[in-house]
Amino acid sequence: MAGNNGVFRFDGRKFVVTGAARGIGYAIARLVAASGGAVAVLDLEGANPEAAASELRREVENAEILTEICDVSSYDQVRAARDALEARWGRADTLINNAGIAYNAPAEEMSVEEWDRMLKINLSGVFYCSQVFGAPMLQERSGCIVSIASMSGLIVNRPQPQVAYNVAKAGVVMLTKSLAAEWAPRGVRVNAVAPGYISTSLTRAWVGTDAMRDYWLGGTPLGRMGTPEEIAYAVAFLASSGASFVTGETLVADGGYTLW
């Protein structure tokens, strides 16, 4: 980008993006690759990260893309993915914690298994990846972590009942603050992005419903859903040297939803 002295370029940087085979994660990986960064796509086998990597290479000429199969809810798999990447690639300097799930259930009906799975993937997975990939960053006294939280970690949005999702995302916000406070003196910045309603496969089932019209779009001052690319730009800012004095923050990108 002209006039910014390369602030928003990622040449020479190595990014690990979890849940990068689709949706917001894929948009982040594509933007990073288009900005000169190397990207390791981490995702479940069923998400077909190899196909995503092939598409990224097709879209971005000369992109350096690696893949690893990884379930972020498994600490052992996260460690194995890091070790495999370091053997092939060296140390990653940037981690994007994007992998997550969403589902709705009334609190009085939610099973213990549903509760545990939500927190295991959406919160514990963020901690596992931050600890495992953050350790080499701390040793080098340099690195950056950006996690995908949600406006649902800041408010109880309507009308869908999603207590476990809200709690997990609120945990990501506090985890971001806690890690940032601990690791800032050791050269590692930790931030988060809190998206509002974004048009992805996770929200597709709500398209055209009264809930979307009355609550989602009706409650958003900008009057529309966001795109994965818009969240990718927010992540890219926090990962860039343009945010070198920013740590412990959660950047809300919700079209103004939390204003009301």
Domain boundaries, the chain: 14-249
Rounded Cα–Cα distance for residues 221 and 138 (Å)? 41
pLDDT, position 4 = 61
For residue range 14-43, list pLDDT tens digits in order: 999 999 999 999 999 999 999 999 999 999
**Residue 5 pLDDT level (bands cut at 50, 70, 90):** low
Mean pLDDT within 182-201: 95
What pLDDT is recorded for position 2? 44
Percent share of the chain, pLDDT over 90: 88
> Do the bridges between strand 65-69 and strand 14-18 make them parallel or antiparallel, or are there none, so unpaired?
unpaired
Q: List the Cα angle 181/238/74 in 5-degree steps.
A: 70
Secondary structure of residue 160 in the 3-state scheme: coil
| pLDDT band of 203, cuts 50, 70, 90 | confident
Examine the pLDDT at 202 and tell me if it is beyond 80.
no
Q: Does residue 228 have a cis bond before it (omega within 30 degrees)?
A: no
Q: What is the pLDDT of residue 1?
A: 38
Cα gap 227→146, rounded to integer Å: 18
> Euclidean distance between the first and final Cα of the chain, in Å?
35
Identify the CA nearest to 148 among candidates 245, 257, 250.
Answer: 250
Instruction: Give the span between the Cα atoms of 30 and 171, in whole angstroms.
Output: 27
Q: Say yes or no to pLDDT of 175 above 90.
A: yes
> Model-level pTM?
0.95
CA angle 148, 151, 155 (to 5 degrees): 140
State residue 7's pLDDT score. Answer: 87
Give residue 40's Cα distance to chain centre: 14
Res. 211: pLDDT tops 90: no
Task: For residue 58, count CB atoms less than 10 angstroms from its CB and return exposed for 0-12, middle for 13-18, buried for 19 or more.
Answer: exposed
Q: Which residues contact 54 (CB under 8 A, 6 or more apart)?
A: none
Mean pLDDT across the chain: 95
At 47, the pLDDT band (50, 70, 90 cuts) reads: very high
* pLDDT for residue 205 is more than 80: no
User: Does the pLDDT of residue 103 top 90, yes or no?
Assistant: no
> How much is the average pLDDT of 148-155?
98
Buried-exposed string 151-180: b where 16+ CB fall within 10 A, e elsewhere: bbbbbebeebbbbbbbbbbbbbbebbbebb
Of 103 and 26, more confident: 26
Mean pLDDT value across residues 80-99: 97
Cβ-contact 220, 254 below 8 angstroms: yes
Tell me, yes or no, if 128 is annotated catalytic. no
CATH class in words for 14-249: alpha beta
Alpha-helix runs per DSSP H in 21-153: 23-34, 49-59, 75-89, 112-119, 125-140
What is the per-residue pLDDT for 60? 97
pLDDT, residue 6, reads 81
- C-alpha 19/C-alpha 29 separation (Å) is 10
pLDDT at position 139 is: 97
Selected catalytic residue, list 75, 103, 128, 165: 165
Mean pLDDT of the 116-120 span: 97
18 close to 97: Cβ distance less than 8 angstroms = yes
**Residue 58 corresponds to which tokens in the numbers above?**
């097709």
